[in-house]
């Protein structure tokens, strides 16, 4: 028979493993986000170090892109069992989080070929769920605060006017805090906090099939990175149970999956850019998750992930020489298995609409802003599944703003008329 200590540890750790594709974060750089992430083949600033490193070779001189955002994910749960699990509906708390996207690059020539290096930091993955301490599913989860930071060192090289290649060295660093109630004891809970990192890499190519047709193709692949997360588990339980619920160290591996992006950019008119993107995220890499406790506890949980994929469409219209208007639409198809659904990090297939503006203050300074509104499909977790039975309706809001300083691009544009 399992000890109370083991039961409490399982109650703490098991639900955190029942995730699907729920921890991707959109590219919050406002120009990219306003076009639904479809502009990988039409990069114009140092954010290419993340989105399409090959495109860095098109950017002369110094280029800086500094962006911040506010993201809010909301979920509502409604009981489908006639009230046997407790009061419903229940909603997550309003707690926005601030993903960033900060990049810099420098382009130059070597032996007549254009070359550039870039570096930066963003948050490609994560999840934040804040349920009330007394909600009906407290025994599954109360709080999730997960962030996956990505640090990128990238380079781009122009072989000729029609082909550019790029590569990246990536370091993923994850931080995670989980809080879960211990049922049926009011006020009792367990906490888990871990952090750690791991390396990955990426390759990209930007192709112009014809110099006479305003069409660009982009390919970007990022190989998965496995983070070695280590930390501690802590229990707050009544005194009679405390000897059997000792705190202990915890270790587990968290993998951020491989991602393949294919993109098209086409300019049917001088003032209009149309972009398309397809993303495949290889979540099927997850076969099992293993948590190792310092007191000898080993928990291995099978996973049931499928790959996720996203279709993206965007447009950018230069309304004036200074003002650009942007919009986008995407459909994200999740690899979620509803029987494995968990309120820890809500996930489902999603429609999203996006929009934004860009304003060129000077030839070197550009200000951008964007909004992202995602409508996630309702999911019904069945009785007998791994989650609290009920319907889960989630949605996401993101607002981002940033500034780009590109003196190299401004100088090149000023020199072009003189060269003619």
pLDDT at position 213:
92
The C-alpha atoms of residue 147 and residue 123 are separated, in whole angstroms, by 7
Give me the CATH number covering residue 292: 2.40.160.60
**In terms of DSSP bridges, do strands 350-360 and 379-381 run parallel, antiparallel, or are they unpaired?**
unpaired
268 pLDDT more than 70: yes
Question: What's the predicted TM-score (pTM) here?
Answer: 0.91
pLDDT at position 329:
98
The arithmetic mean of pLDDT across residues 68-79, rounded, is 92
Lowest mean pLDDT among 51-65, 222-236, 292-306: 292-306
Measured CA to CA in angstroms, residue 220 lies from 79, 258, 278, 328 at distances of 42, 11, 11, 20
Q: Helix, strand or coil for residue 19?
A: coil
70 pLDDT more than 50: yes
pLDDT at position 275:
98
Measured CA to CA in angstroms, residue 250 lies from 5, 190, 232, 297 at distances of 14, 13, 5, 9
The C-alpha atoms of residue 51 and residue 42 are separated, in whole angstroms, by 10
Q: Which residue has the higher pLDDT, 47 or 2?
A: 47
Q: How do residues 176-222 score in pLDDT, each as one tens digit?
A: 888 888 777 778 888 888 899 999 999 999 999 998 899 999 999 99
The arithmetic mean of pLDDT across residues 291-306, rounded, is 68
**Number of domains, the chain:** 1
pLDDT at position 129:
86
pLDDT classification of 380: cutoffs 50, 70, 90: confident
pLDDT at position 178:
83
The C-alpha atoms of residue 80 and residue 32 are separated, in whole angstroms, by 39
The arithmetic mean of pLDDT across residues 5-28, rounded, is 55
Select from 136, 144, 143, 145 the least CA-distant residue to 183: 136
Average pLDDT score over the chain: 86
Domain, as residue range, for 381: 4-419
pLDDT classification of 297: cutoffs 50, 70, 90: low
Q: Read out DSSP for 103-151?
A: EEEEEEEETTEEEEEEEEEEEEEEEEEE--TTSTTTTT-SEEEEEEEEE
The arithmetic mean of pLDDT across residues 112-141, rounded, is 90
pLDDT classification of 140: cutoffs 50, 70, 90: confident
The C-alpha atoms of residue 399 and residue 419 are separated, in whole angstroms, by 41
pLDDT classification of 17: cutoffs 50, 70, 90: very low
pLDDT classification of 416: cutoffs 50, 70, 90: low
Report the share of the chain in percent with pLDDT over 90: 54
77 pLDDT more than 70: yes
Q: For residues 276 and 36, is the Cβ–Cβ distance under 8 A? A: no
Cis (ω within 30 of 0) for the bond into 184? yes
The arithmetic mean of pLDDT across residues 72-97, rounded, is 86
Q: Which residue has the higher pLDDT, 31 or 302?
A: 31
pLDDT classification of 408: cutoffs 50, 70, 90: confident
pLDDT at position 420:
47
pLDDT at position 303:
59
236 pLDDT more than 90: no
pLDDT classification of 244: cutoffs 50, 70, 90: low
The arithmetic mean of pLDDT across residues 120-132, rounded, is 91
The arithmetic mean of pLDDT across residues 228-242, rounded, is 80
Angle ∠(106,111,117) on CA atoms, nearest 5: 20
The C-alpha atoms of residue 400 and residue 403 are separated, in whole angstroms, by 11
pLDDT classification of 410: cutoffs 50, 70, 90: confident
Q: For residues 334 and 20, is the Cβ–Cβ distance under 8 A? A: yes
pLDDT classification of 385: cutoffs 50, 70, 90: low
Report the share of the chain in percent with pLDDT over 70: 86
């Amino acid at each position: 028979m399992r000890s109370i200590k083991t039961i409490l540890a399982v109650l703490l750790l098991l639900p955190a493993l029942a995730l699907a594709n729920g921890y991707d974060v959109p590219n919050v750089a406002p120009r990219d986000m306003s076009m639904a992430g479809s502009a990988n083949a039409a990069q114009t600033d140092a954010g290419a170090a993340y989105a399409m490193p090959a495109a860095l070779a098109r950017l002369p001189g110094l280029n800086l892109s500094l962006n911040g955002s506010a993201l809010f994910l909301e979920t509502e749960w409604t009981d489908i069992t006639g009230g046997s699990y407790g009061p419903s509906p229940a909603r997550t708390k309003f707690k926005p989080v601030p993903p960033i996207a900060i990049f810099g690059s420098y382009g130059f020539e070597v032996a007549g070929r254009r070359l550039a290096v870039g570096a930066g930091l963003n948050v490609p993955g994560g999840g934040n769920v804040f349920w009330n301490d007394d909600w009906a599913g407290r025994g599954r989860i109360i709080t999730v605060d997960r962030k996956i930071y990505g640090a990128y060192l990238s380079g781009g090289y122009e072989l000729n006017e029609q082909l550019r290649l790029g590569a990246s060295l990536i370091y993923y660093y994850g931080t995670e805090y989980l809080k879960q109630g211990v049922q049926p004891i009011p006020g009792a809970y367990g906490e888990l906090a871990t952090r750690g990192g791991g390396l990955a890499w990426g390759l990209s190519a930007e192709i112009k099939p014809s110099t006479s047709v305003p069409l660009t193709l982009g390919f970007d692949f990022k190989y998965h990175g496995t983070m070695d997360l280590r930390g501690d588990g802590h229990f707050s339980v009544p005194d009679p149970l405390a000897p059997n619920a000792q705190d202990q160290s915890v270790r587990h591996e968290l993998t951020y999956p491989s991602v393949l992006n294919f993109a098209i950019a086409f300019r049917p008119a001088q003032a209009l850019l149309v972009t398309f993107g397809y993303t495949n995220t290889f979540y099927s890499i997850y076969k099992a998750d293993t948590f190792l406790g310092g007191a000898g506890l080993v928990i291995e949980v099978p996973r049931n992930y499928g790959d996720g994929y996203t279709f993206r469409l965007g447009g950018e219209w230069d309304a004036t020489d200074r003002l650009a208007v942007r919009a986008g639409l995407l459909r994200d198809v999740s690899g979620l298995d509803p029987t494995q659904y968990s309120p820890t990090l809500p996930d489902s297939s999603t429609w999203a609409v996006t929009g934004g503006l860009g304003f060129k203050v000077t030839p070197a300074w550009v200000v951008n802003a964007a909004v992202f509104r995602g409508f996630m499909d309702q999911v019904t977790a069945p009785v007998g599944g791994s989650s609290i039975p009920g319907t889960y309706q989630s949605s996401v809001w993101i607002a981002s703003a940033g500034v780009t300083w590109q003196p190299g691009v401004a100088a090149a544009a000023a020199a072009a008329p003189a060269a003619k």
